[in-house]
Amino acid sequence: MSNSGVLQAGGNITVDGTALWTDILETARFGSTPKGGIRRLTLTEEDRQVRAWFAAACTALGCTVSHDSMGNQFARRPGRDAGLPPITMGSHLDTQPTGGKFDGIVGVLGGLAVLRALHASGFETRHPIELINWTNEEGARFAPAMLASGVFAGIFTEQEALNKTDRDGIRFGDALAAIGYRGEAPCGQHPVAAYFELHIEQGPILEAEGKTIGIVTGVQGMRWYEVTLTGRDSHAGTTPMTMRADALLAAARIIEAVSTVALAHGPDAVGTVGLMENRPNSRNVVPGAVFFSIDLRHPDDTVVSAMETDLRARIERIVAAAGIGLAMERVWDSPAVHFDPDCIASVRAATDSFGYPARDIVSGAGHDAAYLARVAPTTMIFVPCAGGLSHNEAESAAPADVAAGANVLLRAVLDADTRLNA
C-alpha cells in the first residue's frame, strides 16, 4: 500500500506530544506507589477515579462517552456518515499490583491524543472514531486476562465473567456494580469497523535494534494453568525428612520443570510461575498445601500443546514420587493470532510517511487486540520501553517514542478511514 491515502487524508495533522506526556504523568497519580509506579487493580476505587478522568477528558473534546455491561468505556467522535461503524482505538487503564506508568495506558492516552489532534484541526472523518478502555485486561485481580474484551469477542459468556472471583472471594459483577460501571448495553453488540492498539513493546527488541516503531503482525499463543498441591502439615522439628509430604518442595521441583520445558522447546518458548500461595505459611510447619500459576507461551500453537504435554508428564512424576495430591486446571487458552493485512498495511504506510525506523514484530504478551482480531480487522503498534522492562514500577518509555507511536496511530486510523467501506 502506498502512502497516498494517509497523505491525502489529514496528512499534515500530528499529535501534541507535550500534552500526551502531561496526560501520562497526570493519570499516574491514580494508584501511585512510593517507588514511582502504579497499583491500579481493575474495579477498585483507583480504577473508578481514572475512568472518571478519562470520561471527562474525552467529553471535553466533544465525544460522547458510554460504557457497556462489562464496564468497557467507549468515547465516540462523530464522522460524516453516522451509518458507518466506528474505526476504533484502545487499550486498558488497569495495572499490575506493582505496575508502571505505560503498560496499557499509552494506548488509551495515545488514542486520546489522536482525538485531541482531530478536534484541534477540525478534520472530519468519514467514519465515527472511537477510543475504548477495556476492563480487566491485566487479569491481575480477576483471572483470566483480557476478560471484558473476551466477552466482547464471544470467547467468554458474560455470566461466566461476572461470576469470576478475586482471591478475596469478591465477584467481578459485584465489584463492577460497586464502582458504578455496570452498563445496560450488552457487551459484544457494539459495532467495530477496525481496531488499532498502541502499546509499549514490553520487551527489549525495538530498543536493542534502534527501532522507533514495531509493526505488530500477531500475538503468540499462551495458556494459563492453576495448580494446587496437597501434602500434609506437620511439625518442622519432629517430622523426619523421609516421612514428610512437603507440598512446597514438590512445587519447587515443578517450578524448575516449567523452566526446563520452556528451554527444551526452542528460543521462542517461555514458561513462568508468577503467583504462589503457601499454606499454612508458618516457619516451623512443613507446608501442607501450595497454590500457584503456570504461564506457557510460544508463537506456534502446536509447540504450546507440546509444552503442555511435556510439563504435565513431568508434574505427574514429581507428585507421584513425593506422595502429593495434584489438581491442575487450564484456566485460559489464547491461541496465536495473525493480524489483518490491510490494517498492518495502514500502520506500515503511516510509519513510512514519518520515516520512523521500524520492524515487523510478533507480540510476546497478550493484549485485547488478540480477541478483537476475532471480530474485526485489527493490528497493533509498538514503541520501545527502557530495557524491555514492563510489569514493573520502574517501567519507562521516552516521550519522543510515545509521541511517535501516537502519530502512527493517527495516520493509520486516517488511512483506514479512507479505505474501509469506500
Helix (H) or strand (E) holding 261: helix 247-264
The predicted-structure confidence for 187-225, as pLDDT tens digits, reads as follows 999 999 999 999 999 999 999 999 999 999 999 999 999
Tell me the pLDDT of the chain averaged across its residues. Answer: 96
What's the pLDDT at 422?
60
Do 116 and 174 share a domain, yes or no? yes
306 with 406, same domain: the answer is no
Query: 371-412 pLDDT, tens per residue?
Result: 999 999 999 999 999 999 999 999 999 999 999 999 999 999
Cα dihedral 159, 164, 168, 170 in deg (nearest 10): -20
Q: What is the pLDDT of residue 5?
A: 44
Q: Examine the fold and report which residue of 302, 334, 366 is the final residue of a domain before the chain moves on.
A: 334
The partner residues of 179 in beta bridges, in order of sequence, read none
Grid cell for residue 336? 496465536
Q: Are residues 180 and 322 in the same domain?
A: no
Mean pLDDT of 51-59: 98
Write down the pLDDT at residue 421: 72
Tell me the CA distances in angstroms from 65 to 51, 54, 72, 108, one per residue in order. Answer: 11, 9, 11, 14
Neighbours of 98 (CB within 10 A): 16
Chain-centre distance of CA 277, in angstroms?
A: 24
Q: 237 and 175 share a domain?
A: no
Same domain, 342 and 210: yes
SS3 state at 75: strand
Same domain, 315 and 345: no
Cβ(224)–Cβ(295) below 8 Å: yes
- Binding-site residues for Zn(2+): 92, 103, 138, 199, 391
**Domain termination residue (choose one: 299, 334, 369):** 334
Answer yes or no: do 277 and 314 share one domain: yes
Q: State the residue for C-alpha cell 528460543.
A: 267
Q: How many whole angstroms from its chain centre is CA 195?
A: 14
Residues 244 and 209 in one domain: no
Query: What value does the mean pLDDT take over residues 276-282?
Result: 97
What is the reported pLDDT for 412? 98
Residue 74 and residue 198 in one domain? yes
What is the enclosing helix (H) or strand (E) of 362? strand 358-363
Task: Tell me, rounded to whole angstroms, the distance of Cα 179 from its chain centroid.
Answer: 21
Binning pLDDT at 50, 70 and 90, where does residue 10 land?
low
Judgement on whether residues 208 and 245 belong to the same structural domain of the protein: no
What's the confidence (pLDDT) of residue 334? 86
The predicted pLDDT at position 55 comes to 98
Last residue within a domain, chosen from 304, 334, 364 = 334
pLDDT at position 203, please? Answer: 94
Residue 1 pLDDT greater than 70, yes or no? no
Q: Fill in the DSSP letter of residue 368.
A: H
Give the model's pLDDT for residue 4. Answer: 40
Does one domain contain both 412 and 305? no
Annotated binding-site members: 92, 103, 138, 199, 391
Please report, for the domain that includes residue 247, its CATH number: 3.30.70.360
- Listed in order, strand segments (DSSP E) in 364-419 are 378-383
Grid cell 464471544 is found at 154
Question: Which residues, other chains included, contact 266 with Cβ-Cβ below 8 Å and sequence gap of 6+?
Answer: 298, 303
> Exposed, middle or buried by CB within 10 Å (0-12, 13-18, 19+), for 155?
buried
pLDDT tens, residue by residue, 306-349: 999 999 999 999 999 999 999 999 998 989 999 999 999 999 99
> What average pLDDT score do residues 360-381 get?
95
Helix (H, G, I), strand (E, B) or coil at 3: coil
Domain that holds residue 243: 221-334
Q: Report how far apart, in Å, the C-alpha atoms of 265 and of each of 183, 302, 311 are.
A: 44, 11, 11
Number of domains in the chain: 2
DSSP string for residues in 144-194: SSSHHHHHHTTSS-HHHHHT-B-TT--BHHHHHHHTT---SBPTT-S--SE
Q: What is the CATH number of the domain that holds 176?
A: 3.40.630.10
- Assess whether 260 and 170 both reside in one domain: no
CB 133 within 8 A of CB 51: yes
Give me the pLDDT at residue 175, please: 98
